[in-house]
Structure 1
Amino acid sequence: MDEDEIRKSAALEDRHWWYAERRAMLRRRLRDLTPGRALDVGCGGGGNTAVLRELGWRVTGLEYSPEAARLARSRGLPIMRGDARRLPVASSSQDLVVSTDMWEHIDDDAAVARETVRVLRPGGEVLVAVPCSMSLWSGHDVALGHVRRYERAELLALLASVGLEVHDVRSWNVLLRPVVRARRRSNTSESEMERVAAPLNAALRAVVASERVLPVHRLPGVSLVVRARKP
């Protein structure tokens, strides 16, 4: 992702419906865990890092992009620069590793998965969220620097290959998938992360929020969210 896209995403992060509901999803998926030491890999502007801190975790954000790291630090967050394929973190030192919408940017995602396992303590947890379904591939993915969208079986096989035990996998942003699919058929080169008028922003957030109570998590969505454990 280039620096202009990074700055645009950071400017949207506090209010945009997609980011707001992703933070809400993160809170729900982690509320059963006792806070400890956490690493937010590919933290971007630091929105999820801030959520982890609010939940009581001793969290450090890790970011490859110097511009994204600068923006996250400007929020008063503890951020280190580093490569997810070679984490500058001691082995077995983390109780939780979170990585949302980052693995799809890296060719060697197997190296990221191996490093995630290395830094987790035995019994530690990982939460990974990624865009799913190559049938949704579009100019949006190209603009954001994606190298893939994940199929469910592909992601689960990758996690199993490094020894992680998956105990929760679900789709996210299910109800808006038809809208996303229709829009992306004509999108050849542009990111869809843009400012949305307040009424539409509230409506889109309400649609995604309704998935909290509807039994839709096994249906195809726009993203996959997985919780797994290191034995």
Structure 2
Amino acid sequence: MDWDAYAQTYRQLDDEATVPHLLRRVLDGSGGSLIDVGCGEGALLDRLRSGYGDSWTVTGYEVSNLRAELARSHGHTVLTSPDGVVPVEDGTFDVATASHVIEHVPDDSVFARELLRITRPGGYVYVETPVKLPGAWYFRRNPQAGWVLDKTHVREYRSAAAVDEVLVGAGLTVVAEDLTPLSYPLAAAGLLIRRVLRLPQSTKRPSGLAARTVSIPRYRQQAVLTRRPDGAAG
């Protein structure tokens, strides 16, 4: 997959205004180091810096050099590598996050173990991913996963338990989780029209009406906060 070409065609749309509440449970009243794996254009990094810049040092990681540069243009430190292996020593970070990344990777078990590896013993891993309930359908297609939200999704989990199974299998312990409606920015429709008409893509993040969202029927977002046990092997 040419992730730079993909990033140029499909701009990252962020419909979140705040740091996810399960992640805030770890960050509030504490401090340390955090890495956002698959940070994209830096939307979560922006929110983390705004809310926790005095107490948390935040770093991004990307396989797309284009998205890494866009995040760096916001003043963030972003690591890159083409193979999905974060170029840091074991146990480097107190917290690792991965929002809507695990559904893209070739092997979700390997990815979960990488999140555990880069997190210190006793540290936390936070993951978000779509869950596709029975009857859900979306118009994009991946040869491996069928009809999906994004053509680069090589899997869409069919239950919250399926997500937990991957993370627990990597050696993580589930601390808290929630399942909420999955929404999509209205700006996505505008981007699709511009692609069809071969018009230039805007580099601005959506605002106003374009930033509003609609729920996708029978899809949910699974958020999972896990912890690496003390002494767990990477």
**TM-score scaled to structure 2, two decimals?**
0.72
RMSD: 2.9
Please tell me the residue identity of whatever aligns with 1:145.
Answer: T
1:147 counterpart residue number: 154
Unaligned runs of 5+ in 1: 14-18, 181-191, 209-219
Higher strand content, 1 or 2 = 2
1:77-107 deviations in Å (ceiling 9; x for gaps):
1111125742211111110000001111112
> Given residue 139 of structure 1, which amino acid in structure 2 is its aligned partner?
F
Name 1:194's counterpart in structure 2: 189
Within 2, Cα distance between the matches of 1:46 and 1:137? 29
Equivalent residue pairs, number: 195
Summarize the alignment of residues 133-172 of structure 1 with structure 2, pairs less than 5 Å apart. 133=132, 135=134, 136-140=136-140, 141=148, 143-150=150-157, 151-172=159-180
CA distance in 1, matches of 2:207, 2:48: 28
Change (3 A) 1:74 1:8: farther
Partner of 2:228: 230
CA distance in 1, matches of 2:207, 2:114: 40
Structure-1 separation of matches of 2:7 and 2:85: 22
How many angstroms does 1:25 deviate by? 4.9
What is the letter of the counterpart of residue 32 of structure 2? G
For residue 167 of structure 1, what is the amino acid of its counterpart?
V
State the secondary structure of the residue aligned to 1:75. coil
Q: Is the 8 A contact 2:19 2:47 kept in 1?
A: no
Counterpart contact for 1:84–1:115, Cα < 8 Å: no
Structure (1 or 2) with the greater helix fraction: 1
Is this contact kept in 1: 2:122–2:228, CA < 8 A? yes
Note closer, same or farther for the CA distance 1:67–1:123 as it changes in structure 2 (3 Å cut): same
CA contact (8 A) 1:132 1:224 kept: yes
> Using the alignment, how far apart are the partners of 2:121 and 2:107 within structure 1?
24
Matches within 5 A, 1:73-112: 73-82=72-81, 85-112=84-111
Secondary structure, counterpart of 2:15 in structure 1: helix
Deviations 1:172-223 (A, max 9, x none): 226x6xxx8xxxxxxxxxxx83348944744x47x89xxxxxxxxxxx7521
**Residue type of the alignment partner of 1:138:** Y
CA shift in 2, pair 1:167/1:197, >3 Å: closer
CA distance 1:138–1:84, change in 2 (3 Å): farther
Q: Give the AA of the match of 1:29.
A: L
Structure 2 partner of 1:184: none
Q: 1:110 aligns to what SS in structure 2?
A: helix
Q: CA 1:84 to 1:226, structure 2 compared with 1: closer, same or farther past 3 Å?
A: farther
User: Where does the alignment leave 5 or more consecutive residues of structure 2 unmatched?
Assistant: 141-147, 191-205, 230-234
Whole-angstrom CA distance in 2 between matches of 1:137 and 1:88: 37
Partner of 1:153, secondary structure, is: helix
3-state DSSP of counterpart to 1:115: helix
By how many angstroms is 1:144 displaced? Answer: 4.2
Output the amino acid matched with 2:18: A
Equivalent runs, 1:19-30 vs 2, <5 Å: 19-21=14-16, 23-26=17-20, 28-30=21-23
Paired position in structure 2 for 1:37:
33
Instruction: Give the 5 Å matches for 1:45-84.
Output: 45-54=41-50, 55-56=52-53, 57-82=56-81
